[in-house]
C-alpha cells in the first residue's frame, strides 16, 4: 500500500505544539533551536506557552506549523517510515517540498518566514476575512459568491471536501455571502479567525516580495511526487514549482482534487504530519476507504509503533 505524507496549513496551530517532542528528542531540539536562530524571534516560547493571540499572528503561525511538521517528518524518517508522495494544504505545500527534497529546510524556513510576513502585511493593508461553508455544493457556493460580490469581492478559496468550502474576500462581501449561505440552508457557516483574505486577489501585495525570493532560492526536482494546490497534480520542474508557489497565494486550494488524484494513483495510506487532525477529517469525507493517521505528538508516534 503506497504511503503519502500530507502537511497541514494555517489554522492547525495550538499553544503547546511541539513541546513534548522538544523535551523528548534531541534532534527535535536541534531543529527548533536552529530555526529560532534563523527566525530571530522567540519561536519556542510562542509555540510552547503562547499566548494564543501571538501564535495566531500569520507571521508566527506559518513558521511554527512548518517547523513542527518537519520535526515530526524527521522523526518518521528516523523510524524508516518514508512517503512515496506528498502534499500540503496551503502553507503545508512548503513542508511537503522540504520533505520531498525539493527545498532545503533552511531555504524553506526563510521562504515561509517571508511569506507569513508578506501575507500579514497584505492583510493589514487590504483587510479581508474568510468563512467556512458546510453543506452546500460547489455550484451553489459559487452562485452565492457571485451574488454577494455586489457588496464586495468574495470567491471560493479552499475546496476542502465534498460540501466543505472556504470563501475569501472583503469583510462586506464575505459577511453577505454568509447570510446568503444560511438562507440557502447551509448546515454550518463559520467565519474563520484569520488576518486576511488568503487565496484571493486581496493578497496581491504579497506576490512581489515572494516572487523575488523564490527566484533567488535553489529548488531541486523532488524525490517523490508533490501534488500542488493550484493544479492538484504533481509538479517536478524547479521553475514550475516556483511559479505554482507564487500563484498559490492568490489561487484556490484544490484539496479535494489532490486527495482524489492521489487515491487514483493508488495511494491509500495517509499520514498527516504536523499539529493537526484536520486533513485526516477531510480525507474521510473525500473517500471513506482511505486510511489516515495524524502524527503530531509523542502519543501518536507510540501508537504508530504499535501499528507497525
Distance CA 33, CA 52 (A): 21
- Give the helix/strand (H/E) hosting 13: none
Distance of CA 275 to the CA centre of its chain: 11
Backbone phi, psi, residue 167, to 5°: -105, 155
If you write DSSP's letter for every residue of 217-249 in order, what string do you get?
S-----SS-EE-TTTSSB--SHHHHHHHHHHHT
Contact 29, 108 (CB under 8 A): no
Degrees (nearest 5) of the Cα angle 8, 12, 13? 125
Q: Active-site positions?
A: 90, 199
Contact 16, 6 (CB under 8 A): no
Question: Which strands make up the sheet holding 154-161, listed edge to edge?
Answer: 154-161, 164-169, 129-134, 188-191
Distance of CA 22 to the CA centre of its chain: 22
End-to-end CA gap in the chain: 13
Amino acid at each position: 500500500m503506497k504511503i503519502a505524507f500530507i502537511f497541514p496549513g494555517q489554522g492547525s496551530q495550538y499553544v503547546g505544539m511541539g513541546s513534548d517532542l522538544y523535551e523528548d528528542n534531541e534532534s527535535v531540539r536541534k531543529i527548533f533551536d536552529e530555526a529560532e536562530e534563523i527566525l530571530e524571534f522567540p519561536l519556542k516560547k510562542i509555540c510552547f506557552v503562547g499566548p494564543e493571540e501571538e501564535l495566531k499572528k500569520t507571521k508566527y503561525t506559518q513558521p511554527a506549523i512548518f517547523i513542527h511538521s518537519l520535526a515530526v517528518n524527521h522523526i518518521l524518517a528516523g523510524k524508516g517510515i518514508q512517503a512515496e508522495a506528498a502534499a500540503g494544504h496551503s502553507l503545508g505545500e512548503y513542508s511537503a517540498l522540504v520533505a520531498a527534497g525539493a527545498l532545503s529546510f533552511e531555504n524553506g524556513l526563510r521562504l515561509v518566514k517571508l511569506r507569513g510576513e508578506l501575507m500579514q502585511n497584505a492583510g493589514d493593508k487590504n483587510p479581508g476575512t474568510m468563512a467556512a461553508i458546510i453543506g452546500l455544493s460547489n455550484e451553489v457556493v459559487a452562485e452565492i459568491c457571485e451574488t454577494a460580490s455586489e457588496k464586495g469581492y468574495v470567491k471560493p478559496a479552499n475546496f476542502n471536501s465534498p460540501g466543505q468550502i472556504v470563501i475569501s474576500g472583503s469583510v462586506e462581501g464575505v459577511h453577505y455571502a454568509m447570510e446568503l449561505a444560511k438562507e440557502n440552508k447551509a448546515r454550518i457557516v463559520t467565519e474563520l479567525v484569520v488576518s486576511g483574505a488568503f487565496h484571493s486577489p486581496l493578497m496581491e501585495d504579497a506576490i512581489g516580495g515572494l516572487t523575488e525570493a523564490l527566484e533567488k532560492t535553489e529548488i531541486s526536482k523532488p524525490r517523490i511526487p508533490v501534488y500542488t494546490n493550484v493544479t492538484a497534480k504533481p509538479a517536478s520542474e524547479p521553475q514550475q514549482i516556483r511559479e505554482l508557489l507564487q500563484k498559490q497565494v492568490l489561487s484556490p486550494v484544490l484539496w479535494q482534487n489532490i486527495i482524489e488524484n492521489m487515491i487514483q494513483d493508488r495511494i491509500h495510506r495517509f499520514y498527516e504530519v504536523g499539529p493537526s487532525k484536520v486533513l485526516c477529517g477531510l480525507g474521510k469525507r473525500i473517500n471513506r476507504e482511505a486510511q489516515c493517521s495524524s502524527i503530531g505528538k509523542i502519543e501518536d508516534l507510540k501508537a504508530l509503533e504499535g501499528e507497525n
